[in-house]
Structure 1
Amino acid sequence: MKLLKRFFKIVLGIVAMVAIAVIIVLAMDTLGTNYLKVGNRAVSNNSTYLITNANIIPMHRDTVLVNKMVYIQDGIIKKISENLDIKDIEVVDAKGKYLLPGLIDMHVHVWDRYELGLYLSNGVTAVRNVWGTPMHLRIKSEVNSDKIISPHFFTTGPKLTGPEFIGDDNLNLTHPKEAAEKVVSYQQRGYDFIKTYYGLDKELFDAVIEQAAISKIDIVAHPSQKVPFSYHFNPQIKSIEHAEEIVQQPLQFNLDTVQLRPIIDSISNAKHSSFCPTITVFNNIYQMMLNDSILDSESLSYMNPLIKKADSKNQFDRWHNAKQEDSGVVDRIKNQHDFHLRIIAQLHKTGVPIICGTDAGIGVTIPGFSIHKELAFYKEAGLSNYEVLKTATVNAAQTHSIMNQLGSIETGKVANLLLLDSNPLLELSTLENPSSVFVKGRKINRNTLQKFKEMARKRKNLMASGLRYLEYLLIEK
């Protein structure tokens, strides 16, 4: 009996030490992002400003409002006029600069709080995270309660799949009742959207769609190959993800513009859905096959250490090996990327709302930085600069009702703004280095934005990220 008591005491001691170690690791990682706390020296708590001499690109219409004043009160745009006489307020002189709504990335995978600063430093003032975990609910709570400076943060729940798509990243559904219960649970726990994925057959998909309508929660759909592509045109589905899925599913990898035409027309006729191409993440397959040292590149230092060690490495190995086995795969990937540009051109021509999404946070697709590459591809596809900017502003904000207060510079909208050195209607590259970023009216200057980049580049939080992923597995799987 004494031996048994001693054994349990040892076990409890080990458990206690492990728990303490876990708490210390997570606490240290949280302390590492204290620079994002609202009210510290880097991030002012002030959210009331008068911006003067601004050239405004409002984005709800194609124009430049020259030499205007913008009054921001408690994070909301209150007045826009040629002359405003407001006393006792901090003034930002925007002479010679351009004011644009903050960018929105509609398809990201966030792995830590450091990435929030990366998005802000690249002018992204709202993100839609599309693979939710408990960590994301905590981030959302901190953002909504104004504890940290961050892009507006919206998140789906875990990805819903059918029974055979087994993997850490999937929540495998086996019965319609279970599917409905997950929708209810995710909505009640605070997830903003439902994410559907590969492997959902008609019975499971119907259960998700029906319950989502009852629960009044939007669906973000990565198309399932178990149902016709047209099945994703249900009104409850607010956006369809990935241009590559058009190639892989209805076209069956046949890069044929004649066969593409009726597919584009069917998407256009759906009217209630936006399309999120995410062509940067696919193009990065091509980049990995061209650059054997991409994992050691400077840009990859901005990736979460756990993702870089696991997913980035696995994806690189997969495509490097594919190239070794068949050199023709390089041209096939490049040809498919070029076809994605045609898809975007045709979607745009038929009036389908295109929303900017990068799939940042996986492979070698870097949070924040990748939005500039995605927008450049839309430009290459034939969109004008104004049309390109719409994909990351008004189009994105109109996708979900809970985002409607974003995306344009109008009275009553949230003051998520970029102050730029030159006119993005003439040169998109000016977006890469904003002079200032406003989030909920809080101003972040260029030096602070640069600090956000440096803090993300230097982080060493592989273990903390692993523990948070373990939490996801224990709670959600």
Structure 2
Amino acid sequence: MKIFKKLLKIVLSLFGILLLTALILIWIDSRGTGYLKVEKEGAFANNSYLVQNVNVIPMNADTVLTGKTVYIKEGVIENISDKFTVEGVEIIKGDGKFLTPGLIDMHVHVWDEYELGLYLSNGVTAVRNLWGLPMHLRMKEAVNNAEIIAPLFFTTGPKLTGPEYIGDDNLQLRSAEEAKARVIFYKKRGYDFIKTYYGLTPEIFDAVVEQAAASQMDIIAHPSQKVSYNYHFKPQIRSVEHAEDIIQQPLNYVLDTIKLKEVVSDFSASGTTKFCPTLTVYNNIYQILTNDKILDSENLQYMNPLIRKVDSQAQFDRWQDSKRTDRAIVGSIKAQHEFHLKIIREMHEAGVPIICGTDAGIGVTVPGFSIHRELGFYKEAGLTNYEVLKTATYNASGTHAVMENMGSIEKGKIANLLLLNNNPLEDLSALKRPELVFVNGRKINRKQLNSFEEKAKNRKNLVVSGFRYAENLIREK
């Protein structure tokens, strides 16, 4: 008995030391992103401005409103009109530049606060995080309380899977009762949405949908192969993710144009579900296969170091190994990407609302920067510049009721805006380096945005990222 007590004491002491170490490292890391802090008398304190002589791209219509004045009052668009003045408000001279809604990335995986700065630097003023962990609830609270300057932050809970999908990144459901209890728990915890994933059977899936409706939580669906693809077209399911899953599931890995038309027709008939293609993350498989130095590229220096060491490396090894055993794999992946462009084209022509999502934060898909490649693929698929921009603004904001107050430049909308030197309706590359970014009316200039990138580059928070991920295993499993 004495030996047991002694061992228990040692274990508890070690646990205490580990916990203390984790808390110290987390505190140090939070100090590292102090540049995002909103101070009452310091940076980002002001959220009221008058932007004069600016060309407004409202995105609720395919038009440009020339020479307008826009009044941002306490983070909200108060007025859009011809010349007028407001006393006591800082004036920004638009000088004929272009004002657009901020971009929204509807499929990301956020691992630390440094990434929030990367999104802002690339004009992303709202994100939908689809792999929820406890740290994301803290991020959401900090954003909502205006403690940090960051994109508006929305998050699902952990991924809900069927019983056979073992892994620390999955929450396995074994019964309808367990499914309902988990949805209730995530609602209570403060997650915004539910994410369904592989392996959900009809019984379990129905229970998730039923409880999500009762709990007033929208569902984002990564298609489950245990049900038919059109099973996901339910009013509670607000978007279905990933173009590749159309090929892997209803098309059964065949680039079948006839079967695709059936899928597109079902999607269009649903009337309520949007499509989030995430073309960039799949195309990055091709980039891995054709560039054996990709892990050393400058872009990868902006990835979270834990993800770079574990997931980026694993993805690289997997696809390089595949290339060694299957010489045709490079051509196959390229052909599938090109078929994804066809999917986009046909979905768009059928009136299916497309929303922009990158799957950034995993593999070699870099937060923030990747949205410009994603939009470029939609352009390549045949959408006009207006239609492309709509996927990351107006369409995205209409996906969930909690996001309807953004996505366009209208009176009463949140002032999430980009001031651009050139017109993105003529050239999408104008979006890449916004001169000013407004989030909730708080202005960030290009110099500050550049500094956000520099702070995030080659950051040294691998261990603390591991602690944050481990917290999920204790609190959400």
2:474: which partner in 1?
A: 474
**2:137 matches 1:137:** yes
Cα distance in 2 for residues equivalent to 1:290 and 1:157: 35
Q: Distance in 1 between matches of 2:12 and 2:359?
A: 43
Per the TM alignment, residue 10 of structure 1 is displaced from its structure 2 partner at its CA by 4.8
Does the 8 Å contact 1:135/1:468 carry over to 2? yes
- CA shift for structure 1 position 192: 0.4
1:257 Cα offset (Å): 1.4
1:155 pairs with 2:155? yes
CA distance in 2, matches of 1:263, 1:222: 16
What is the aligned partner in structure 2 of residue 88 from structure 1?
88
Aligned residues: 477
What residue is the counterpart of 2:248 in the other structure?
Answer: 248
TM-score of the superposed pair, with normalisation by structure 2: 0.98
Separation in 1 of the partners of 2:447 and 2:247?
A: 43
Question: Are 2:109 and 2:359, in contact at CA under 8 Å, matched by a contact in 1?
Answer: yes
| Deviation readout 1:190-248 (Å, 9 max, x if unpaired) | 10000000100100000000101111110000010000111000111000000111111
**Map of 1:235-314 to 2, 5 A cutoff?**
235-314=235-314
Alignment of 1:21-170 (within 5 A): 21-39=21-39, 43-170=43-170
Secondary structure at 1:157's aligned position in 2? coil
> By how many angstroms is 1:44 displaced?
1.9
SS at match of 1:141: helix
**Structure 1 stretch 39-48 or stretch 229-238: which is displaced more?**
39-48
Alpha-carbon separation, structure 1, partners of 2:91 and 2:206: 54
Cα separation, partners in 2 of 1:211 and 1:421, compared to 1, 3 Å = same
SS at match of 1:213: helix
Superimposed CA distance per residue, residues 92-148 of structure 1 (whole angstroms, 9 cap, x where no aligned partner): 101131000000000000000000000000000000000100000000000000000
Structure 2 contact 305–458 (Cα < 8 Å) conserved = no
Q: Secondary structure at the match of 1:53?
A: strand
Cα gap change, 1:42 to 1:465, in 2 (>3 Å): farther
Cα distance in 2, alignment partners of residues 274 and 130 from structure 1: 15
Q: CA deviation at 1:22?
A: 1.4
Task: Give the letter for the 2:228 counterpart.
Answer: P
Alpha-carbon distance in structure 1 between the residues aligned to 2:208 and 2:44: 43
2:156/2:195 contact within 8 Å kept: yes
Q: Once the 2 structures are TM-superposed, how far is the Cα of residue 11 of structure 1 from its aligned partner? A: 4.6
Alpha-carbon distance in structure 2 between the residues aligned to 1:110 and 1:95: 36
Q: Mapping of 1:77-476 within 5 angstroms?
A: 77-476=77-476
* Maintained 8 Å contact 1:43/1:149: no
Cα pair 1:42 1:448 within 8 Å, conserved: no
What is the one-letter code of the residue matched to 2:395?
A: N
1:211 alignment partner AA: Q
Q: Which amino acid aligns with 2:111?
A: W
CA shift, 1:262, in A, is: 1.3
Mapped to 2, the partners of 1:413 and 1:8 lie a distance apart of 57
CA separation in 1, counterparts of 2:29 and 2:50? 36
Q: Secondary structure at the match of 2:21?
A: helix
CA RMSD of the aligned region, Å? 1.4
C-alpha separation in 1, matches of 2:209 and 2:99: 40
1:16 Cα deviation after fit: 3.1
CA-to-aligned-CA distance 1:414-441 (integer Å, 9 cap, x gap):
0000000100001101111000000000
Partners of 1:6 and 1:405 lie apart in 2 by 59
Judge which range, 79-88 or 280-289, deviates more: 79-88
Given that residues 35 and 42 in structure 1 are in contact (C-alpha distance below 8 angstroms), is that contact kept between their aligned partners in structure 2? no
- Deviation larger for 365-374 or 450-459: 450-459
User: Structure 1: which 5+ runs fail to align?
Assistant: none
Q: Partners of 1:304 and 1:42 in 2: how far apart?
A: 28
Q: Which runs of 5+ in 2 are unaligned?
A: none
TM-score w.r.t. length of structure 1: 0.98
